[in-house]
Amino acid sequence: MTIDAQQQAEIDAQRAETFTTRRATVPALEEVLYQAIPLLDHGFVRVVDYMGDDSAVVQAARVSYGRGTRKVSDDRGLINYLMRHRHTTPFEMCEIKFHVKLPIFVARQWIRHRTASVNEYSARYSILDNEFYIPAPEQLAAQSSVNRQGRGDVLAGDEAKRVFELLKRDAEQAYDSYEEMLNLNSDGTVRDPAQQGLARELARMNLTLNFYTQWYWKTDLYNFMHFLALRADSHSQYEIRVYADAMLDMLKRWVPLTHAAFMDYRVGSTAVSAKGMAVVKRLLSGEKVEQKDSGLSAREWRELMDSLGRA
């Protein structure tokens, strides 16, 4: 991760400030507030603001005037109920804002989660840094033969070395051309004062998708959990999953009761269709059931058997 001295000084200054407030604060999240968590080779994620906590979810559900005198076990039971029955609105009452530095191709996946407010670094206004993502050797994998959007066996030997060199060479060449079109030297000085240089909004189109961008991403707790359910999943692409995994830890710091319910009723649960439930009932009655007479497709059958530990 690359954070220059000025950026680090800004982070340190933010972390040194404290405020007195009547609003709910969460000590565990305050510990890492503004702190940049390094990810991939140049990326990071950090919490820059939040609103609400587990009690805010409970208050919204009960429409109460304050925390009240109920026990934590009561709050836990209500949050579990809300999560179990998909009552989403109380979770929407909490919000969190992140500062994220990520490769452009990861950002293009991320932006598909449309229920968030996003403000991205502008390459029309500013010049992108010469930072691009190169996968670690264990992530250089071939196309999967069974999954059209997944990876297969890890490349090795000369093949892996060649792919690594191609990725690095193309990114370096693209940035050299980017600087040339902007009429800039590598240190940011002007190459030829007599030339104006191409407009930044045009020069940027030559950069490859592994260059880094940054944005502020704000979302409510419910939609944050939806993002994590999809992107912290083992089937998600590695490069976005590492961000989701780090943010999953921040969810636990922020709203531990909600996190526990999320892990139990969303991450660790299985959705079963009406036909699938009929199969489960037949199996429980002692009947031998095969895929061909189950009413399920081969894929549905395989997924159900995997969830039941009968693969």
Q: At what angle do helices 221-231 and 238-254 cross, to 10 degrees?
A: 140
Residue 231 annotated among the catalytic residues of the structure:
yes
The set of residues, in sequence order, having a beta carbon less than 8 Å from that of 3 and lying 6+ positions away, is 11, 36, 44
Beta bridge partners of 51: 95
Yes or no: say if 94 and 220 are a contact pair by the CB < 8 Å rule: yes
What is the arithmetic mean of pLDDT over 266-291?
93
Give me the catalytic one of 46, 231, 241, 253: 231
In angstroms, the CA 107 to CA 118 distance is: 11
What is the arithmetic mean of pLDDT over 125-145?
89
pLDDT at 1: 62
- Check pLDDT > 90 for residue 153: no
Q: pLDDT tier at 53 (50, 70, 90 boundaries)?
A: very high
Question: Can you give the C-alpha Rg of the chain in angstroms?
Answer: 24
This prediction has a pTM of: 0.91
- Check pLDDT > 90 for residue 67: no
pLDDT at 144: 74
Q: pLDDT tier at 68 (50, 70, 90 boundaries)?
A: low
- Check pLDDT > 70 for residue 69: no
Instruction: State the chain's mean pLDDT as an integer.
Output: 93
- Check pLDDT > 80 for residue 163: yes
- The per-residue pLDDT for range 7-28, each reduced to its tens digit, is 889 999 999 999 899 899 999 9
Minimal CA–CA distance to 100: which of 51, 47, 31, 40?
47
Considering only 26-30, 74-78, 121-125, 155-159, which range has the smallest mean pLDDT?
155-159
- Check pLDDT > 90 for residue 54: yes
- The per-residue pLDDT for range 231-252, each reduced to its tens digit, is 999 889 999 999 999 999 999 9
Considering only 79-93, 153-167, 260-274, which range has the smallest mean pLDDT?
153-167
